[in-house]
Amino acid sequence: MNNLKKETKLTLLYIAVAFSFSVAVRMIWFYQFANYEAFKFNSEFMINTNDGYYWAEGARDILSGISQANDLSPITSATSQLTALLAFVLPFSFESLILFMPVFLSSLIVIPIILIAKNLDNLNMGLIAALLASIGWSYYNRTMIGYYDTDMLNIVLPMFLLWSIIWAIKTNEDKYLIITAIDILIYRWWYPQSYSLEFSFFALILLYALIWDRKNTYNYKLLAIMMLAMIGVEGYIRLVLVLGIFYIYKQKRFDKYIYYILGASILIFFASGGFNPIWGNLKGYVFKDAVSVGEEGLKLHFYSVMQTVKEAGHISFEMFTNRISGHVVTFVASVGGFIYLAYRHKIMLFGLPLIGLGFLAYVGGLRFTIYAVPVLAFGAAFLITEAARYMPTKRLKFLTITALSMAILYPNIAHVQEYMVPTVFNADEVEILDTLKNRAGREDYVVSWWDYGYPLRYYSDVKTLIDGGKHSGAVNFPVSFILTNPQDVSAKMARLDVEYTEKTFKFKEDNKELIRDKNLTIFSNIEQMTKDYGFSDTNDFLLSLQTDIKLPDKTRDIYLYLPYRMLDIYPTVEMFSNINLMNAKMKERSLFYVSKMFKQEQNIINLGYGILFDTQNATITINNRKMPVKRFVQTSYSQNMKFSKDIQVSNPAENITVIYMSSFNTFLVVDEKTYNSLYVQLMLLEEYDKTLFEEVIMTPQAKVYRLKV
């Protein structure tokens, strides 16, 4: 009894130590930027993940009780709900809450790790694994302070699931049946895509039961209750079913029905569509097409966003090992150690689905590596405790553990110190959005690239056309078109796309049954516009925008948010509308070259990459070809942020313009198409048609215009 108490005390101590360590390491970023005002708004740090603003918007709307139809605010999401609840009960500001939630929630991972190790009677291994896993490279990246996203519990919850499965199989205690089922319910609530991992655990337990433990009815009870927690119905119904079945399990007289219960639960699982999403999950990451095609109607071809999303890209072996263990040596030791650990304790094989999902990073993109971090941490930790076991004295044992633990932790801590990620927006930009909030109404639209969608909705409480979750080729096309085309056609497209977006929402609501039963296709806005204006070729419709077409009735205001930082992604933005929608042919890319590093020798300015601008003769050399320059434009902001520009046209018939933005010390080389684009004209040159647009907020960092048509 005394021993047991001592072990419990040590377990709690280890959890406290590992948790504090995890929190402390996550505070490094906080202190690194403590005096950096550009990362703060209202003297509090802003978050550093774009998606976080999505959950924050949902939580804000839950707390205020204001939510509109079709505002895309995630008020029913678990992340927003948990945040709203915490904001309601805790005495901290909302901004502090979302900043620190990842710090504390992600650090909970040390609990299941140490409890699993306790089951294997190796608490020291648990402590070392918890220290390593809690700050492991990719786990840290996706759960650091300000990384307010589902990731903060995405690994914690399956690790608790692994813990309860291990304890269930080892102890066959009833309580682990209900704990496992409830963990699945919470995990699914938190992260609906969790089914693939849950199903893998299920399959592994089934395999184990059939091969090694066929006679033990406990296994079938566990499988049935897990299956019921996973069927394709609402969470609260699954909770009732799980509690009901647990009650039945507690009555010995029902024991003889256990196989029927399992059979029935599997049948319900398939009948309720529980299996359907399992493969669909990975499809998008594994098979990526450059161009997606509509199935009916005009069969338009859109440019796919998958091509530009970094996280779906392939990664090198070194990056892969760094992200999982912090160092290639630690990774090799972890894999070897895990094999040895699984050989000594077969139960650890239940960790395989997490390792498998982590290794999927090799094909599926680096976001997956975090799944392998905690389970492989056991491998390295086990080797360390084994090495210590062979040491002759207590002192040497202690020294071995300390030295080796520090060695595996060091590369990860070094990474934390180097990983100085910026906040999503800087203080000046957020100031603008905050001003816009008082100007624009909740039902108004702000047109901007999808990268700015969530922050715009959070800070300005407006609607957006595209955002971090809504950015398929079809919805990106009109916005890309607006930003990269001349202002007269862009203005028309802005009005069209906003009104068509709202019309489509309404159509979907009014025809819910029809869409479901008759499988009615909802066409993209651009396709619907083409048809409504009597064209069968989208290119003809787009050309018609240059004429005096009749626009839909205005139902709300439209604003354009044009940040300076979009300069860096302009070519990507353009891609989405630089395609012939009828035949998928990409058009020739526009000339767009930014130079922030240049040097001047007499009258020649070397812009890098062999591009030379001759100021005296007004020529530019690109790819060893010397061409006359059409214009040279110089812009600047005065002390009180007043904009001025100077345009010198030297060769009116030519195509290339050089823009020098002196306040940003940046050169821009563009062709005539880009020069005439809405972004360049309205943002960089403040050159706008006063019948189409009205100034709202004009700063060097970003400009906001209101559409007048």
Q: Are 475 and 524 in contact (CB under 8 A)?
A: yes
Which C-beta is closer to Mn ion: that of 244 or that of 441?
441
Min dist. Cβ of residue 257 to Mn ion (A): 51
Min dist. Cβ of residue 71 to Mn ion (A): 4
Min dist. Cβ of residue 63 to Mn ion (A): 13
DSSP 372-425: HHHHHHHHHHHHHHHHHHT-SSHHHHHHHHHHHHHHHHHHHHHHHHH--PPPSS
Which C-beta is closer to Mn ion: that of 436 or that of 594?
436
* Helical packing angle, 174-190 and 235-250, nearest 10°: 180
Q: What is the dihedral of CA 101, 103, 105, 106, to 10 degrees?
A: 140
Mask: binding to Mn ion, 399-418, rule CB under 5 A, as x and -? --------------------
Give the residue nearest to Mn ion (CB). Answer: 71
Which C-beta is closer to Mn ion: that of 58 or that of 365?
58
Rounded Cα–Cα distance for residues 486 and 543 (Å): 12
Q: Are 498 and 478 in contact (CB under 8 A)?
A: no
Min dist. Cβ of residue 468 to Mn ion (A): 16
Do you know the residue count of the chain?
Answer: 709
Mask: binding to Mn ion, 63-82, rule CB under 5 A, as x and -? --------x-----------
Q: What single-letter DSSP state applies at residue 695?
A: E
Min dist. Cβ of residue 443 to Mn ion (A): 8
Mask: binding to Mn ion, 13-52, rule CB under 5 A, as x and -? ----------------------------------------
Min dist. Cβ of residue 82 to Mn ion (A): 20
Q: Bridge-partner residues for 292, per DSSP?
A: 302
| 30 three-class SS | helix
Which C-beta is closer to Mn ion: that of 51 or that of 654?
51
Min dist. Cβ of residue 359 to Mn ion (A): 40
Which C-beta is closer to Mn ion: that of 71 or that of 502?
71
Which C-beta is closer to Mn ion: that of 81 or that of 385?
81
Which C-beta is closer to Mn ion: that of 71 or that of 151?
71
Residue with tokens 């001759």: 614
Residues 497-526 within binding reach of Mn ion (CB under 5 A)? none
Which C-beta is closer to Mn ion: that of 75 or that of 560?
75
Rounded Cα–Cα distance for residues 320 and 330 (Å): 12
Q: How many residues bind Mn ion (CB under 5 A)?
A: 1
Q: What single-letter DSSP state applies at residue 624?
A: T
Residues 611-640 within binding reach of Mn ion (CB under 5 A)? none
DSSP 449-497: -GGGHHHHHHHH--EES--SS---HHHHHHHHHHHHS-HHHHHHHHHHH
Interaction between residue 467 and Mn ion (CB under 5 A): no
Rounded Cα–Cα distance for residues 403 and 573 (Å): 50
Q: Is 23 exposed, middle or buried (0-12, 13-18, 19+ CB in 10 A)?
A: middle
Which C-beta is closer to Mn ion: that of 51 or that of 461?
461
Mask: binding to Mn ion, 326-355, rule CB under 5 A, as x and -? ------------------------------
Min dist. Cβ of residue 708 to Mn ion (A): 24
Which C-beta is closer to Mn ion: that of 73 or that of 577?
73
Which C-beta is closer to Mn ion: that of 71 or that of 183?
71
Residue with tokens 């199989």: 169
Which C-beta is closer to Mn ion: that of 66 or that of 363?
66
Q: Are 114 and 90 in contact (CB under 8 A)?
A: no
Min dist. Cβ of residue 467 to Mn ion (A): 12
According to the 3-state scheme, what is the secondary structure of 33-90? Answer: CCCCHHHEECCEECCCCCCHHHHHHHHHHHHHCCCCCCCCCCCCCHHHHHHHHHHHHC
Min dist. Cβ of residue 73 to Mn ion (A): 5
Min dist. Cβ of residue 34 to Mn ion (A): 33
DSSP 438-452: HHS-TT-EEE--GGG
Phi-psi category of residue 469: left, alpha or beta, with phi > 0 → left and psi -120 to 50 → alpha: alpha
Residues 130-159 within binding reach of Mn ion (CB under 5 A)? none
Min dist. Cβ of residue 92 to Mn ion (A): 23
Rounded Cα–Cα distance for residues 60 and 54 (Å): 10
Interface with Mn ion by CB under 5 A: which residues?
71
